Each structure stands twice: as C-alpha cells, then as structure tokens.
Amino acid sequence: MTSRRPLIAGNWKMNGLTADGSSLASGLAEKMTAAGDVFFEMLVCPPFTLISKIADCLGGSGIALGAQDCHANEKGAHTGDISAAMLKDAGCAYVIVGHSERRTDHGESNETVRDKAAAVHAAGLGAVICIGETEAERDAGQTLDVNKAQIAGSLPEGATAANTVIAYEPVWAIGTGRTPTNDEVQDVHAFIRGELAGHLGESEAAAMRILYGGSMKPGNAKELLALADVDGGLIGGASLTVEDFWGIAESV
Ligand code: PEP
C-alpha cells in the first residue's frame, strides 16, 4: 500500500452530447455521493462543449473535472483553441496533455506537450501528461527508450507530484482490447518512476502518480491497479458508461 491516492480518470474523447453526457456524469455523481468517503480520486474529462454542463452535473460529488487538451498560451489570436485559464474558469482541476491521439492527429511533439503542461501549471491546474510507445517501437525493443525520451521532453520545469500525473499508455493498447502483461506494466511503471527520480528527485518521484491507460476495463482493472507502481488508470472506452467506469473505480 502506498500513500499515493489512486486516480481513476475518464477520457471521454470526442463522445457525448448534452443528454448522454449529463446522464453519465449525474450517474457517477450519485454513485460517489452514495459511496461517501472513498480512497480513490475520480476525474472525468468530457469534450470542451460539455465542460460547463458536466460541472453542474457533478455538483458537490467530489468528482473532479478535467479537459482533454489546451493551448500553450494564456489568451490571444489562436482561433478555435482553448487556454488552461479558460478551463479553470469553467471548473476544471486537470488537463490531459500529450495524449497519443493528439501527438498523432495534430503532430504534437514533446516540446509542444511540455509547453502545454507548463501552461496548465501556470493556470494552477494539474497536468496529466501522457506517454507511451507505438507497436512498432515495442517490436523494435525500444519501449523504455521511447518512454525515457518522452519523459525528458514532455516534463516541464516546476513539475511536482502535486501538479503532475503521468499516464503511461502503450499506443497499441488504446482501444484495441489488448494490454501488456501485468509484469510488463509494472516494469515500465517502475522504470518511469526511476526516470522521474532522475529529473525531479527521489521524493517527488515517489509521490507522483503514474496511471496505466490502454483497454482498462472492469475485468482487468483489479490486477492492473494492484501493481506496485500503478496509481490509477486513464480510461477511454470504459469511461463512457456508469457501470464500467464505476466498476473500475470499485476495484481499487
Ligand atoms: C485512452 O484513450 O486514454 C484510453 C486508454 O482508451 P481505452 O481505454 O479505450 O483503451
């Protein structure tokens, strides 16, 4: 048992209209309120269009609200973009940065991710920084090297255990139903913690939460979440129903 509070985070991606998003958030809020004091922290990250609505639905349930991306600047001439300050104003406590779908779809580099994470910190929010190797990199035996480089490149100055969460998401496991073995997950997480120690010092690294993401479901969550260096999950598909997402949280 560690002192790190597990974080169960849902990434809704580009899913949810007002009716189904509200119903999902309200259902989770009801579960959380009924559960009372829980050891884990829960976070939901809806699309931008639903953030204000979901803030209302979550009410005083204690479930945190987050966004899936932000711009690196605080304001200005960036048509279509959203800043971390705006997200804070809308009720967010966290912002996911560097998700593999943004790295791929929008060509985001480690440097972009680092600047976005710095902007999240500057706004007083928590950054969930995503890293992870592709299948080709894994097959080439580059898993540790890739994650090492992503940590070195994506972690901004001033990152601490209080303002940063790392999400290890093997790209080939996202939305595919495939996962690494438990030993592989633990080995990569322990390696990541070692790398964090090199950048931030032992005590920040020991306190920083490292989430696993990639096809986590109620059926495999218990064993993944029990691993020594796994401090929660970043969950895509299974965060879209109350039953599955709450089922994962309950297995902490
Ligand atoms: C994700 O996109 O962050 C993710 C982990 O997705 P899924 O749970 O659907 O694999």
Q: Residue 1's pLDDT is what?
A: 39
Alpha helices in 36-109 (DSSP H): 51-58, 84-89, 100-105
Q: Which residue type is seen at 129?
A: I
- Give the distance, in angstroms, between the CA of residue 63 and the centroid of all CA atoms in the same chain: 14
77 Cα: distance to centroid of ligand 1 (angstroms): 32
Q: Residue 135's pLDDT is what?
A: 98
Residue 237 alpha carbon, nearest atom of ligand 1: 9
Q: Residue 102's pLDDT is what?
A: 98
- 169 given a catalytic annotation: yes
Residues 6+ apart with CB under 8 A from 246: 28, 31
Q: Residue 2's pLDDT is what?
A: 59
Query: Could you say which residues of the chain have pLDDT below 50?
Result: 1
The CATH topology of domain 65-236 is TIM Barrel (3.20.20)
Q: Residue 3's pLDDT is what?
A: 86
pTM of the model: 0.98
Give the residue range(s) of CATH 3.20.20.70 domains in the chain.
65-236
**CA distances, 144 to each of 49, 57, 98 (Å):** 36, 40, 18
Q: Could you say which of 101, 108, 133, 169 is catalytic?
A: 169
- Determine the Cα–Cα distance for residues 230 and 224; give it in Å rounded to an integer: 7
